[in-house]
Amino acid sequence: MNFRLDHVHIVSENVDEMSSFFQDLFLAKVLSYDENLKGAPNTVVEFGGLRVFIRGVRPGEDPDAFSPELVQGLDHFGLEVENVEESANILRARGAKFIVEPEASGVGGRMIAFICGPENVRIELCQKK
- Model confidence pLDDT, tens digit, residues 75-116: 789 999 999 999 999 999 999 999 999 999 988 889 999 999
Same domain, 54 and 82: no
Residue 80 lies in a domain: yes
Same domain, 50 and 82: no
Same domain, 38 and 85: no
Same domain, 53 and 86: no
Residue 100 lies in a domain: yes
Using CB atoms within 10 Å of the CB of residue 54, give its burial: 0 to 12 exposed, 13 to 18 middle, 19+ buried.
buried
Residue 65 lies in a domain: no
Look at residue 116 in the predicted model and tell me its pLDDT.
94
Work out whether strand 50-56 and strand 8-12 pair parallel, antiparallel, or are unpaired. parallel
> Which residue range is the domain that position 121 belongs to?
75-129
**Rounded to two decimals, what is the model's pTM?**
0.87
14 contact partners, CB below 8 Å, separation of at least 6:
56, 118, 119
Cα–Cα distance measured from residue 65 to residue 119, given in angstroms and rounded to the nearest whole number = 6
More confident call, 120 vs 87:
87
Look at residue 30 in the predicted model and tell me its pLDDT.
98
**Residue 35 maps to which CATH number?**
3.10.180.10
Q: How confident is the model at residue 23 (pLDDT cuts 50, 70, 90)?
A: very high
Residue 87 lies in a domain: yes
Note the pLDDT tens digit of each residue in 27-75.
Answer: 999 999 999 999 999 999 999 999 999 999 999 888 776 665 666 567 7
Same domain, 12 and 54: yes
Looking at the 3D structure of the chain, how many domains does it have?
2
Same domain, 121 and 95: yes
For 49, list phi and psi in degrees, rounded to 5: 80, 0
Residue 63 lies in a domain: no
Q: Which of 84, 93, 96 is nearest to 125 (CA)?
A: 84
